[in-house]
Structure 1
Amino acid sequence: MSDISARLASELNAQQQQVVAATKLLDEGATVPFIARYRKEVTGGLDDTQLRLLEQRLSYLRELEERRSFILSTIESQKKLTAELKADITSAQSKTELEDLYLPYKAKRRTKGQIAIEAGIEPLADALFTDASLNPEQHAEQYINADKGFDDTKAVLDGAKFILMERFAEDAKLLAKLRSHISQNGAIQSTVIKGQEQAGTKYRDYFDHQELLTKVPSHRALAMLRARNEGILQLNVNPEPSSENPAQLCANMIAQHYRLNITDQAASTWLLSVVQWAWKIKLGLHLENEFFAAMREKAEAGAIDVFAKNLKDLLMAAPAGPRTTLGLDPGLRTGCKIAVVDSTGKLLTTQTIFPHAPQNHWDKSLRTLEQLCRQHKVELIAIGNGTASRESDKLVAELMKANTELKLNKIMVSEAGASVYSASEFAANEFPDLDVSLRGAVSIARRLQDPLAELVKIEPKSIGVG
């Protein structure tokens, strides 16, 4: 625990005793808001931002330590835990690094490489890997084993190739080196799947698109991933877009990592095919899936952050205050729904008018509005910004012009979520006898009076901020 608290203290720019105190409170069931407001003297004044980060990172680091202990005990039970491997596992700072180190020791299904090892071909793989001057075909002859399915030199060499490929794919240091290179230099490439051009017109900007991984904003990343899930786009990670042959560049990186001679010796051609296939079949696909998962996670976090900021701006919008308000929910065929609420938000009356096509009862609607405004001493008119909002705004403008003594003010209000509210259990409890279509007009009026008080009744995903 002391290692975790020391690390958290460094990340939060706080004292270790502050972290220990906050951790104790969290473990006792206290929430972040409660600690931030009522336990400042215990935590030494840690603010809510620091506490949220502490809660998130504490969970991650504890899971990391649990996984580290499991991996150490598992490898030790296999009697394969060397001092060097133990030091690497103990010093691993992330789950990704830890899983890379554990990869060779994980229980896995029977692979082609394992089948070749069982047939006794591993010594050949080791010999060709160590000494590129050996002739692969000649040395493979002594490992032919028809009973095990290796009845010629080609099958034997393929078995040796699978052994090395799987070994490369489980090398934590090689994975880290390739991952680092791709994260700094790689690009995401998107191309349209043949025949999907019409179905995916909204994604046409990505039909032939390439962008550095370090530069992809969250909204573009999510759009491309969504199009891939819908079968519109094919996505790939190009490890080095500036190279004419990125796959060969990565194969060369693998060869350099193991100091393999793939140029002018007897086994060079065979070793070159091994590293090329290791990249194409094992490492390339593994890292590509990993980068897509990381990109989605990062993009979703960014999108949620934008959503939260937009939601905060909307909820904290300046209220019009306690003034009698007429809410107008515009519509064409079904008419405009009207609700008048008093200064406390209490519903006074409702009405439906039909000023627009096809009924076109313009003058009658003006008279109804005038009567309602005079009767209830309306000060504000909130107009929903949906269908027929411009026509309804024109109607209210004419009302105001003809009745200046009423001293009315009109404001266009977002009606996002009003229909969701009107059909919700909350609205049914508030207005059990009111028609669903009229409840939306009440919401429009109230959200002008006090946006926060009204919008908290609606699920954030329905408010139209992201």
Structure 2
Amino acid sequence: MTTSSASIRRPKPVTARLAEELAVGEGQVTAAVRLLDEGATVPFIARYRKEVTGSLDDGQLRTLADRLTYLRELDERRDAVLTSIREQGKLTDELVDVLMSADTKARVEDIYLPYKPKRRTKAQIAREAGLEPLADRLLADPTLVPDQVAAEFIGAEVGDAAAALDGARHIIVERAAENAELVGQVREHFWQHGTVRSRAASDAVAATPKAQKFSDYFDFSEPLTQMPSHRVLAVLRGEKEEVLALSVDGGEDAEYQAMIARALEVDLTAGGAATPWLAGVVGFAWRTRLSVSASVDARVRLRLRAESDAVTVFARNLKDLLLAAPAGNRTTLGLDPGFRTGVKVAVVDGTGKVLDTCAVYPHQPQKQWDAAKATLAALVARHGVELIAIGNGTASRETDALATELISEIRAAGAAAPTKAVVSEAGASVYSASAYAAHELPDLDVTLRGAVSIARRLQDPLAELVKIEPKSIGVGQYQHDVTPGILARSLGAVVEDAVNAVGVDVNTASVPLLARVSGITETLAESIVAHRDRTGPFRSRRALLEVPRLGPKSFEQCAGFLRIRDGEDPLDSSGVHPESYPVVHRILDRAGVTMAEIIGNQRALRSVRPAEIADERFGVPTVTDILAELEKPGRDPRPGFTTASFAAGVEKVADLKEGMILEGVVTNVAAFGAFVDVGVHQDGLVHVSAMSDRYVSDPHEVVRSGQVVRVKVVSVDVERQRIGLSLRLDEKTRAPRKEPAQRSAPRRGSDQRPRRDAATDRRGSGSAGGSMADALRAAGFGR
């Protein structure tokens, strides 16, 4: 029975489905969807529309926005399929019900498959030759003799009985392959019982150096449902690099053939004359069609799951890195380490403005140790340097030793010495060569721009890292193997949330930073900076409305996240949105104090009851947020600044000994553990099993990227450059549980350098000579 468009029963509204998935009220979802459709951003809705959405947080809103897109696309595809089948005159009430209950795009496509316009298949050719009745008769009566029945169909288009049976087989196989219920059942069974297997592509390939990092997968298997994302992406990369041969095994063929037989209503135990032929058709359907599609689907599903997990890990690490403690607006000397090309040096003031640059050559082959130290001492004295930022790449430990010696001798001279810190230089080279860096630092050589970036990222990691494409920051897990679009969307959301959580000083922010603020596009960010350069600093948030193309809607979205320090209105430096300023004045009236008296006045603020201030537009959640903001206006959610102290004399993997307790910095957190930089150019792994005395399911429960931790060395493999660490300082010296092909992070620099054991190793022919005391006095210390 066909059906009309008027009688089609629609699925639940998208808002109802989202409410069920998120376990929240449909009214909350409806309000959030309306705001998103009106162009509101997730940070704005989460922060300033709590009354409307029932206080949905940014995580819930991100999930809602993603699922909203998916469900709308699902509904659009469902409607297109319905239209196509209706135009064919094949739409029935039963088919409508099945389509309306489909909850995934894959399910819709399975249902549509028999009706989807396609090229002429062997089954279609057989139907045109009149062989469909033969297939129907053999399926209906297994007592028939196939050759005898097939002989009745010999004709101009069918040469003999064998050709007739072959055509009938293709028809039956296509029916099985286009049975949506069967395909779904086979797909799920294959996923639940399947296994990934990998081996070396060949003995010759296995012997090559590039294959060694995949050696753990030369004879490897693991169930599909249990394989963690990092191993999935590892074997997929090995396959892509033609080192590994990968296959997916679904289990016993007999189980799938039984499913196919049931779907075709074939009794494989009937014992009729046609039973062997029908059993052969069932086996053929499994081998040539259903096993292939199930295997492909399992690989796709496996990759998507692995990508989702990898993106989640990357996003959490990126958030931790972006929200790392800023050292603050202090004059900083940035050092971009190197051997042959020297150490690039840049001094920036508290606002990040470049004051001085140069290069020094303290290491091999030049060995101008004292000359380099004297140059740095002069820069420290001349510019009042308070911080020294050292990139953690090649020659990092050697450069750190140079800075340590410099600081020690400055202190010995009786002067205030700067504080040093080793910072991640991931992405610094990408920034240096970028178009924005060329625009921002046009007069600097590419090599020196990296030193500037290193200095600035110590001052304010967030402000500097937003200039770099997120995937280039290097805190991910096989991030280069993840579909770029999926990664970009997720990481872009993380950056947006981090920037808006901290807030942005509109009078100092760069274009890339402003472009991450709610409601501000890159074009609008450029317009804001151009207006600022032309007319001077903004004195109020309202002055933003004078910026070309920044209209009321953009102002509404961005104003609360922009800060104006020392402006006309003290509220402009807070997280209070301008639309809520009248609420602040009601609070002042209720407390009986002035603006100057209320800010930071904990007693006065906590005496105000939010319910007495709230009205129809600004409810208790907003008033509560305003009171908290007035208590600590413009508060920075990031932690306080701390630095790690690397152990003296521990410069390469060979220097490590089991049992050592060291201080280090968490550089990356993966699903199986965390990588920690202990100052030897090769990160060590703290396996998840060595993180705590209790069971840890997610390493992020214990550590975060950028965190300073104390670890114990439990294993050292100098040959393979692998370091096993533990956060349990009473851990026995044993290797943590093995994780194939993912036991250590990529090396950041060469570990095959001779150790400096004597001063003569540091002072080559290019040394300035003389005492350091003389150099310090010349630089301006100890006067």
Shift of 1:160: 0.8
Q: Report the Cα distance in structure 2 between the residues aligned to 1:95 and 1:308, rounded to whole angstroms.
A: 26
Q: Which moved more, 1:68-77 or 1:207-216?
A: 68-77
Q: Which moved more, 1:27-36 or 1:164-173?
A: 27-36
- Equivalent position to 1:277, from 258, 281, 284: 284
Shift of 1:2: 5.7
Q: Report the Cα distance in structure 2 between the residues aligned to 1:157 and 1:428, rounded to whole angstroms.
A: 71
Per-residue displacement from partner, 1:336-358 (whole Å, max 9, x unpaired)?
11112233332221221111111
Structure 2 contact 191–225 (Cα < 8 Å) conserved: yes
Aligned to 2:59: 49
Establish whether residue 183 from structure 1 lines up as the match of residue 194 from structure 2.
no
Aligned to 2:216: 205
Q: Which moved more, 1:105-114 or 1:424-433?
A: 424-433
Aligned to 2:729: none
Q: Which moved more, 1:22-31 or 1:213-222?
A: 22-31
Q: Report the Cα distance in structure 2 between the residues aligned to 1:294 and 1:408, rounded to whole angstroms.
A: 53
Work out which structure has the larger RCO, using CA pairs closer than 8 Å and 6 or more positions apart in sequence: 2
Aligned to 1:114: 124
- Equivalent position to 1:8, from 18, 40, 44: 18
Amino acid at match of 1:160: A
Aligned to 2:559: none
Aligned to 2:484: none
Shift of 1:413: 1.3
SS at match of 1:196: helix
| Identical residues among aligned pairs (%) | 56
Q: Describe how 1:134-149 pairs up with structure 2 within 5 A.
A: 134-145=144-155, 147-148=156-157
Q: Which moved more, 1:165-174 or 1:116-125?
A: 116-125
Q: Report the Cα distance in structure 2 between the residues aligned to 1:225 and 1:322, rounded to whole angstroms.
A: 45
Report how many aligned residue pairs link the two structures. Answer: 459
Give TM-score scaled by structure 1 length: 0.93
Establish whether residue 75 from structure 1 lines up as the match of residue 85 from structure 2.
yes
Q: Report the Cα distance in structure 1 between the residues aligned to 2:137 and 2:86, rounded to whole angstroms.
A: 28
Establish whether residue 391 from structure 1 lines up as the match of residue 364 from structure 2.
no
Amino acid at match of 2:142: A
Q: Report the Cα distance in structure 1 between the residues aligned to 2:472 and 2:76, rounded to whole angstroms.
A: 39
Per-residue displacement from partner, 1:28-68 (whole Å, max 9, x unpaired)?
33332333233333333332222222222222222222222
SS at match of 1:143: coil
Q: Give the 3 Å change call, closer, same or farther, for CA 26–344 of structure 1 in structure 2.
A: closer
Amino acid at match of 2:260: I
Shift of 1:122: 0.9
Structure 2 contact 176–263 (Cα < 8 Å) conserved: no
SS at match of 2:320: helix
Per-residue displacement from partner, 1:403-444 (whole Å, max 9, x unpaired)?
323433221111112222222222223322222211211111
Shift of 1:287: 1.5
Shift of 1:395: 1.7
Q: Describe how 1:59-70 pairs up with structure 2 within 5 A.
A: 59-70=69-80
Q: Give the 3 Å change call, closer, same or farther, for CA 196–268 of structure 1 in structure 2.
A: farther
Q: Report the Cα distance in structure 2 between the residues aligned to 1:385 and 1:12, rounded to whole angstroms.
A: 42
Q: Report the Cα distance in structure 2 between the residues aligned to 1:422 and 1:235, rounded to whole angstroms.
A: 39
Shift of 1:136: 0.8
Stretches of structure 1 lacking an aligned partner (at least 5 in a row): 241-245
Aligned to 2:360: 353
Q: Describe how 1:219-234 pairs up with structure 2 within 5 A.
A: 219-234=230-245
The structure richer in helix per residue is 1
Amino acid at match of 1:230: E
Establish whether residue 196 from structure 1 lines up as the match of residue 202 from structure 2.
no
- Equivalent position to 1:235, from 246, 249, 255: 246
SS at match of 1:350: strand
Shift of 1:328: 1.2
Aligned to 1:153: 161
Q: Report the Cα distance in structure 2 between the residues aligned to 1:412 and 1:424, rounded to whole angstroms.
A: 23
SS at match of 1:297: helix
Shift of 1:138: 1.2
Give TM-score scaled by structure 2 length: 0.56
Shift of 1:95: 1.4
Q: Describe how 1:434-445 pairs up with structure 2 within 5 A.
A: 434-445=444-455
Establish whether residue 94 from structure 1 lines up as the match of residue 100 from structure 2.
no
Establish whether residue 247 from structure 1 lines up as the match of residue 253 from structure 2.
yes
Aligned to 2:314: 307
Q: Report the Cα distance in structure 2 between the residues aligned to 1:458 and 1:205, rounded to whole angstroms.
A: 34
Aligned to 2:330: 323
Structure 2 contact 176–264 (Cα < 8 Å) conserved: no
SS at match of 1:345: coil
Per-residue displacement from partner, 1:215-267 (whole Å, max 9, x unpaired)?
12222222222333333333322112xxxxx2233212222343422232211
SS at match of 1:285: helix
Aligned to 1:463: 473
Q: Which moved more, 1:121-130 or 1:415-424?
A: 415-424
Q: Report the Cα distance in structure 1 between the residues aligned to 2:449 and 2:27, rounded to whole angstroms.
A: 53
Shift of 1:275: 0.8
Q: Give the 3 Å change call, closer, same or farther, for CA 70–135 of structure 1 in structure 2.
A: same
Q: Report the Cα distance in structure 2 between the residues aligned to 1:189 and 1:287, rounded to whole angstroms.
A: 16
Q: Report the Cα distance in structure 1 between the residues aligned to 2:384 and 2:309, rounded to whole angstroms.
A: 46
Q: Report the Cα distance in structure 1 between the residues aligned to 2:222 and 2:138, rounded to whole angstroms.
A: 40
Q: Which moved more, 1:400-409 or 1:377-386?
A: 400-409
Structure 2 contact 332–348 (Cα < 8 Å) conserved: yes
Q: Which moved more, 1:349-358 or 1:42-51?
A: 42-51
Q: Report the Cα distance in structure 2 between the residues aligned to 1:172 and 1:134, rounded to whole angstroms.
A: 29
Q: Which moved more, 1:190-199 or 1:281-290?
A: 190-199
Shift of 1:392: 1.3
Per-residue displacement from partner, 1:98-153 (whole Å, max 9, x unpaired)?
111111111111111111111111111111112111111111111112x21x2121
Q: Give the 3 Å change call, closer, same or farther, for CA 165–313 of structure 1 in structure 2.
A: same
Q: Report the Cα distance in structure 2 between the residues aligned to 1:457 and 1:134, rounded to whole angstroms.
A: 75
Shift of 1:161: 0.7
Stretches of structure 2 lacking an aligned partner (at least 5 in a row): 1-10, 477-783
Shift of 1:314: 1.1
SS at match of 2:13: helix
Structure 2 contact 154–161 (Cα < 8 Å) conserved: yes
